[in-house]
């Protein structure tokens, strides 16, 4: 009886506590303790619509406007300079224009350097021309500015913005399925959106075969991707051989899996990738699906029919010819056990599991498809508001210009233009910090104790000492690795997977390592070849986000963090955000570890919470009881934002 009474009392007490803390399920749950950054003012300029558009020369970022209002700054800063929103005419104050980031392929200057670009089409009869996308030549007044990165520094157009009709309308967003579109804009605020059809023709996408279109485009233009000699006449009338420049080719790889569901929004995004990267560039890119077959019992390698059916069951029809299948069982055969001497397997997963070895399939793909110079490792929950070719091309060109001196150190930090000033100032600041610290600069392959390493490449040996170099080594050299978060030293953090290191001598200290969170990256064929050899020959292995940067580090390759625009939903003081992200006082404070809660309110990280909210608001959906068709209609209209990379976006919805 005593035992039963005790249990009853304990049960009643527990129930009372539960009801007291969460009387209505999650709705009544006690407020958690807020993070320090949540006490900063919320920024709302992200959601200013197309009716507030102003020329870039009149644009004042929200942070500047807020600061001037607090401090009594110049009157012209404080005024919201955009036309009054009328009740009758709710059209944007300017018209959209075609957005074309490609070089003029027809100029004499271009044709002196490169082979002629043959125009590509969507159909075999070459009657369906490739669509353009449209941007507004302005910015919504007081739209929030990014804290990290700079479009201007990367050579991208920061004076225009994209809204959903101009960005996705030409890919079928805004016209009905009976006309070959997707009919997704029924309830959307759309004032002025019809103007794009004065230039653009609606395309019937029901019969488009993107794989065939890509292959035809490459065949027409393949002379551009090999060294070709053309004959010209010299001043004396004699024939002279002119060698035109070879353009690199890119494999743009979408990492997907069986069972993945493709929404109409995702289909729009993929159509944009193929059109903008591959077809309109004259075949510089090929878009691929690297499709993970999660069920090892499916005999995809034994039957062409099963291989084809697996693709057809797991991809929309218009993309069927673009898929390559792989499985974990295949990787176990390709990179067989054993992989000895693991330091610590925090994931408690087999080494061939995709969670620990996502790079295995990418390495294998690069061996099966050696025809490419670069391989883009792209995740399915990435989204981009701007033009793909502008982004991919400009960041590659920018990285090519970067000198190697101080490069690893610059790439370990976030660039904050408003605080750091120009990129030149940032470069000098990082150099000064390095000079006054105890750190040795990275200069060529690092030397460390080991009992088995592949020899470094001759071409990665520095031509001079670090001090003698005048920021010349590496200029004009293509980057072997591009990342979209800083490349940091995990040993200086408490990042959870920092010790998932395999195949090195456990009697010696762990090898020096580098890491970039999120596996999204561009990798050179040279880097992937070395990763492949390190895996099958040396049995070396690390967690996927650590492996490519570490191999590049060990072998003296050129690795670059791209300072793309990253936004925050709270108005951080600049010194605080710099101290938090670039100078954490101790390892446990690192934003790549226990301090990663600092990333929740931004537009790009593996667990960023703000990214999906902002993206879906841009698509017209109502989020957290704000936005949506009625609010856009009654207010400043649909969102228009500059070129921004979003991650993660786990699901999408629009104005429905």
Supply the pLDDT for residue 16. Answer: 31
Q: What is the pLDDT of residues 243-292, one digit of tens each?
A: 899 999 999 999 999 999 999 999 999 999 999 999 999 999 999 999 99
Q: Tell me, yes or no, whether 121 lies in a domain.
A: no
Q: For residue 8, is pLDDT > 80?
A: no
pLDDT the model gives residue 205: 97
Residue 129 located in a structural domain: no
Q: Does the pLDDT at position 241 exceed 50?
A: yes
Is residue 413 assigned to a domain?
A: yes
- Non-local (6+) Cβ contacts of 410 within 8 A are 426, 427, 430, 561
Domain presence at residue 410: yes
At residue 3, the pLDDT reads 44
Residue 568 sits at φ, ψ, to 5 deg, of: -125, 145
pLDDT value of residue 112? 95
- Higher per-residue pLDDT: 266 or 79: 266
For range 489-510, the mean pLDDT:
96
Strands 97-99, 133-135: pairing is antiparallel
In 220-295, DSSP assigns E strands to 229-233, 239-243, 250-257, 285-292
Q: What pLDDT score was predicted for residue 76?
A: 61
| Residue 78 scores a pLDDT above 70 | no
Does some domain include residue 348?
no
Question: What total of structural domains would you count in the chain?
Answer: 1
Which pLDDT band holds residue 32 (cuts at 50, 70, 90)?
A: confident
Q: How many CB atoms lie within 10 A of CB 137?
A: 16
Quote the pLDDT of residue 456: 84
pLDDT of residue 223: 96
Listed range (9-13, 17-21, 216-220, 465-469) with the worst mean pLDDT? 17-21
Residues 6+ apart with CB under 8 A from 191: 50, 51, 90, 91, 92, 637
pLDDT at 24: 34
What pLDDT is recorded for position 7?
Answer: 39
* In-domain check, residue 98: no
pLDDT for the residue 245: 93
Find the helix or strand (DSSP H, E) in which 167 lies: helix 164-168
| pLDDT value for 235 | 53
Give the tens place of pLDDT for each residue, 175-199: 999 999 999 999 999 999 999 999 9
285-325 per-position pLDDT tens digit = 999 999 999 999 999 999 999 999 999 999 999 999 999 99
Instruction: Return phi, psi of residue 582, to 5°.
Output: -105, -25
Query: Does pLDDT of 443 surpass 80?
Result: yes
| Residue 148: inside a domain | no
Q: How far is CA 320 from CA 219, 250, 304, 307, 324, in A?
A: 19, 20, 14, 11, 10
Domain-located, residue 555: yes
With a cut of 60, say whether residue 487 has pLDDT above it. yes
pLDDT band at 18 (very low <50, low <70, confident <90, very high): very low
3-state class of 362 per DSSP?
helix
Look up the domain containing 488 and give its range: 403-561
């Amino acid at each position: 009886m005593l035992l039963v009474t005790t249990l009853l009392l304990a049960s009643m007490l527990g129930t009372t506590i539960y009801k007291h803390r969460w009387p209505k399920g999650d709705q009544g749950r006690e407020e958690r303790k807020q993070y320090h950054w949540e006490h900063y003012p919320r920024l709302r300029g992200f959601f200013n619509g197309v009716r507030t558009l102003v020329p870039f020369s009149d644009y004042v970022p929200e942070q500047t406007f807020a600061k001037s209002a607090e401090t009594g700054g110049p009157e012209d800063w404080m005024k919201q300079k955009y036309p009054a929103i009328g009740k009758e005419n709710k059209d944007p104050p300017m018209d959209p224009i075609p957005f074309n980031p490609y070089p003029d392929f027809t100029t004499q200057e271009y044709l002196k350097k490169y082979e002629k670009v043959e125009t590509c089409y969507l159909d075999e009869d070459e009657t369906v021309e490739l669509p353009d996308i449209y941007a507004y030549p302005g910015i919504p007044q007081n739209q929030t500015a990014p804290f990290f990165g700079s479009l201007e520094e990367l050579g991208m157009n920061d004076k225009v913005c994209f809204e959903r009709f101009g960005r996705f309308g030409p890919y079928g967003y805004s016209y009905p399925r009976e006309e070959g579109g997707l009919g997704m804009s029924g309830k959307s605020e759309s004032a002025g959106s019809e103007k794009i059809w004065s230039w653009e023709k609606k395309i019937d996408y029901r019969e488009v075969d993107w794989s065939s279109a890509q292959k035809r485009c490459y065949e027409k233009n393949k002379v551009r991707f090999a060294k070709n000699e053309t004959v010209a006449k010299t001043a004396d009338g004699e024939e002279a051989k002119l060698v035109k420049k070879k353009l690199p080719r890119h494999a743009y790889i979408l990492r997907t899996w069986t069972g993945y569901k493709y929404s109409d929004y995702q289909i729009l995004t993929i159509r944009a990738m193929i059109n903008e990267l591959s077809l309109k560039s004259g075949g510089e890119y090929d878009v691929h699906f690297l499709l993970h077959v999660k069920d090892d019992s499916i005999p995809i390698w034994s039957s062409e029919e099963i291989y084809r059916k697996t693709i057809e069951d797991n991809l929309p029809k218009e993309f069927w010819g673009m898929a390559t299948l792989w499985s974990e069982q295949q990787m176990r055969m390709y990179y067989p056990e054993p992989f000895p001497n693991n330091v610590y397997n925090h994931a408690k997963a087999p080494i061939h599991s995709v969670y620990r070895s996502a790079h295995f399939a990418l390495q294998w793909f690069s061996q099966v498809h050696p025809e490419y110079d670069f391989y883009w490792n792209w995740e399915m929950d990435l989204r981009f508001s701007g033009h793909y070719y502008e982004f991919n091309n400009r960041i590659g060109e920018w990285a090519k210009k970067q000198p190697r001196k101080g490069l690893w150190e610059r790439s370990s930090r976030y660039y904050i233009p408003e605080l750091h000033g120009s990129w030149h100032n940032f470069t000098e600041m990082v150099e000064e910090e390095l000079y006054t610290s105890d750190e040795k600069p990275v200069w060529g392959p690092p030397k460390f104790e080991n009992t088995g390493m592949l020899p470094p490449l001759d071409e990665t040996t520095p031509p001079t000492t670090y001090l003698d170099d005048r920021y010349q080594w590496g200029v004009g050299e293509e980057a072997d690795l591009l990342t979209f978060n800083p490349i940091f030293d995990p040993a200086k953090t408490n990042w959870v997977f920092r010790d998932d290191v395999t195949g090195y001598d456990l009697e010696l200290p762990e090898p020096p390592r580098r890491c970039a969170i999120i596996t999204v990256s561009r990798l050179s064929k040279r880097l992937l070849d070395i990763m492949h050899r390190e895996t099958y020959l040396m049995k070396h292995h690390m967690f996927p986000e650590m492996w490519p940067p570490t191999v590049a580090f060990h072998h003296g390759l050129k690795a670059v963090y791209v300072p793309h625009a990253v936004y925050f939903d709270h108005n951080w003081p600049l010194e605080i955000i710099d101290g938090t992200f670039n100078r954490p006082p101790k390892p446990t404070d690192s934003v790549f570890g226990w301090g990663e809660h600092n990333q929740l309110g931004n537009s790009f990280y593996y667990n960023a919470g703000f990214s999906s909210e902002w993206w879906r608001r841009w698509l017209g959906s109502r989020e957290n009881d704000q936005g949506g068709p009625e609010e856009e209609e009654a207010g400043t209209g649909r969102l228009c934002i500059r070129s921004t990379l979003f991650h993660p976006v786990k699901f999408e919805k629009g104005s429905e």
